[in-house]
Chain A
Amino acid sequence: MTHILIFGVILPLLLSTFLVSGWWKAWAPASAPLPGRAVALPLVIACAWVVGALGILDGIRFPPRSAIERLVVGGGFAGLLVLIELARPQAAWLKGLVRTAVVALLVGWVTISRTAMWGHAIWLAAAVGAGLLAALVGLGIERFGERRGQWPVAFLLTGLLTCVAAVLGISGSAKLGQLTGILAAVVGPMIVLALIRRDFSLATSALSSFLAIGFGLVAAGGVSAEVPAVSIGLLAAAALIPWGGMALHAKPTKIEVPTVLVAAAVVALIGVAVAVKSSPSLFEESADPYSSGTGSADPNPY
């Protein structure tokens, strides 16, 4: 438990705070407006998350062999790749393209062991689909942040992460649940920064790495844990709900923000409930091996 607290919460939190503070000092002195270069903060998220993940997992085999090990290595590279956004920080099309490509690459790499089962075409379609979905989710959250400020985005991201962690943990991988918790710990200082400085956009600056690692975690869960597809679908639907807030665009903040947050929470919690329902009970005995047939060469088990 101490190990999890140190590596899963305290270390990534401190590292993220330290890096964010350093970045703040170097690029955005209090007298100057925060530049678009703050978009490079996704690298901070990726670095701090990878350090925390390596601590929780007690190191990984290299070259990586499992989906989780590939995710840890790929998460670091994703942090580097999203720096391409620096070229045109204000260009939404570039951001969308980078997010699609980075998430597709990461999800594809994490799920590469599925090519034998799914076939190359389905695997590729799943990776690209995940990339497009990530770009759509990212744009929706960004627009939501632009309309209604940063604190609702912080609530939304934290709530979604909590539900993803719960689904992964319930579905048979406590490790993936903990790795999701690290992401929440890493994003924490960004949320504080967003709250104390109005010109810092959490949705803009921290979202690309957040999306890449978040989608990677769910993909790893789909490969190596028994995550119900319905739960994954509901979590994705919850992440898309800020788009629904567009319908309330003309309405005051008082209506849109609680509507979006409550709707997202309800949909994500249904996803958690589906995972709970699909998962075996803690007190359920294993099935009798003789009842389902064991493929024995001997027809008489006695």
Chain B
Amino acid sequence: MKLKSLRIASAGFLAATAVAFATLTPTATTPVVAQEAAASAANYEIDAVHTSVLFRVMHFNTTPFYGRFNKISGSVKWDEANPAGSSIDLTIDAASVDTNNEKRDQHLRGADFFNASEFPAITFKSKSIEKVGDVYKVSGPISFNGTTKDVTVEFTKTGEGADPWGGYRIGGEATFTLKRSEFGIKYMPNALGEDVKVIVAIEGIKK
């Protein structure tokens, strides 16, 4: 009798757990909500914790070296049906550069590189977004170290869907290359590559 009660209780607990997980799992609701989102424009706030900005530069023409920025903010307006009505606005705190070495980070924050105290924000504001095949061509000015230049990057939408907390998220990624001397960063030309590959992966939470 006791064993039967225990089995019933265990089954009940497992069933309750399964129901709880089902309600938390995004796949259960994603298709429906995704269709709703695709139908109309929506505004998203950049989720700083799940957004990454990485940079890659050759060291002594030998090894690709990676660094990142830890503080990113901004917003995305996304209109699947009308990409031209979409926009991406990003602000990166230049002083949050992180290469896992505090002394090097201090040097990168200084005037030899990002000059973060004089130019604290690295910004990108899209002017136009155009869908070409499976990707989006996002054009706009990028500003850092006191120089602003227009760039066009290929942005790939990587996904969207509901999160377990009732919110709705959208994500995308862009990889592009900048020439650092064009932004006034000419220090150590023999030690560090001229081309800096930038990887931006953004996640937005619907407002």
- List, in ascending order, chain B residues with CB within 8 A of A147's CB: none
B residues with CB within 8 A of A:
45-50, 70-71, 73, 96, 98-103, 105-107, 109-112, 115, 117-119, 145-147, 165, 181, 184, 186-187, 189-190, 205
Most chain A C-beta atoms within 10 Å of own C-beta, residue among B98, B181, B189: B98
- List, in ascending order, chain A residues with CB within 8 A of B102's CB: 280-281, 284-287
- List, in ascending order, chain B residues with CB within 8 A of A281's CB: 102-103
Select which of A57, A220, A283, A289 is within 8 A of B98 by beta carbon.
A289
Contact B106 A224 (CB under 8 A): no
Q: A294-B48, A295-B73 are in contact. List 8 more A-B contacts (CB 8 A).
A: A58-B189, A65-B184, A66-B111, A68-B111, A172-B109, A172-B111, A279-B103, A285-B101
- List, in ascending order, chain B residues with CB within 8 A of A226's CB: 106, 109-110, 117
The answer to whether A295 and B71 touch (CB under 8 A), given A66-B115, A280-B102, is yes
- List 9 A-B pairs, minimum CB-CB distance, nearest first: A172-B110, A65-B146, A280-B102, A224-B111, A296-B49, A284-B102, A289-B70, A296-B48, A172-B106
Select which of B70, B103, B111 is within 8 A of A173 by beta carbon.
B111
Q: Which residue of A lies closest to B44 (CB)?
A: A297
Interfacial residues of chain A within 127-184, with CB under 8 A of chain B in the complex: 171-176
- List, in ascending order, chain B residues with CB within 8 A of A174's CB: 107, 112, 187
- Is A225's beta carbon under 8 Å from chain B? yes
The answer to whether A113 and B118 touch (CB under 8 A), given A289-B98, A295-B48, is yes
- Is A61's beta carbon under 8 Å from chain B? yes
Contact B49 A294 (CB under 8 A): yes
Contact B186 A58 (CB under 8 A): yes
Select which of A66, A287, A296 is within 8 A of B47 by beta carbon.
A296
- List, in ascending order, chain B residues with CB within 8 A of A106's CB: none
- List, in ascending order, chain B residues with CB within 8 A of A113's CB: 118
The answer to whether A298 and B111 touch (CB under 8 A), given A174-B187, A285-B100, A285-B101, is no
- Is A238's beta carbon under 8 Å from chain B? no
Select which of A57, A65, A286, A294 is within 8 A of B100 by beta carbon.
A286
Contact A298 B186 (CB under 8 A): no
Contact B98 A286 (CB under 8 A): yes
CB distance from A210 to the nearest CB of B (A): 22
- Is A81's beta carbon under 8 Å from chain B? no
- Is A67's beta carbon under 8 Å from chain B? yes
Contact A286 B205 (CB under 8 A): no
The CA-CA distance from A70 to B106 in the complex, in Å, is 22
The CA-CA distance from A301 to B105 in the complex, in Å, is 23
The CA-CA distance from A226 to B114 in the complex, in Å, is 13
CB distance from A47 to the nearest CB of B (A): 23
Contact A175 B112 (CB under 8 A): yes
The CA-CA distance from A216 to B107 in the complex, in Å, is 20
Q: Which residue of A lies closest to B110 (CB)?
A: A172
The CA-CA distance from A183 to B186 in the complex, in Å, is 21
- Is A282's beta carbon under 8 Å from chain B? yes
Contact A282 B115 (CB under 8 A): no
- List, in ascending order, chain B residues with CB within 8 A of A225's CB: 110-111
Contact B70 A66 (CB under 8 A): no
Select which of A66, A280, A298 is within 8 A of B118 by beta carbon.
A66
- List, in ascending order, chain A residues with CB within 8 A of B112's CB: 172-175
- Is A223's beta carbon under 8 Å from chain B? yes
CB distance from A67 to the nearest CB of B (A): 6
- List, in ascending order, chain B residues with CB within 8 A of A66's CB: 111, 115, 118-119, 145-146, 184
Contact A297 B45 (CB under 8 A): yes
Contact A220 B100 (CB under 8 A): no
Contact A297 B109 (CB under 8 A): no
Contact B100 A298 (CB under 8 A): no
Q: Which residue of B lies closest to A226 (CB)?
A: B106
The CA-CA distance from A114 to B147 in the complex, in Å, is 18
The answer to whether A298 and B47 touch (CB under 8 A), given A66-B184, A224-B117, A285-B100, is yes
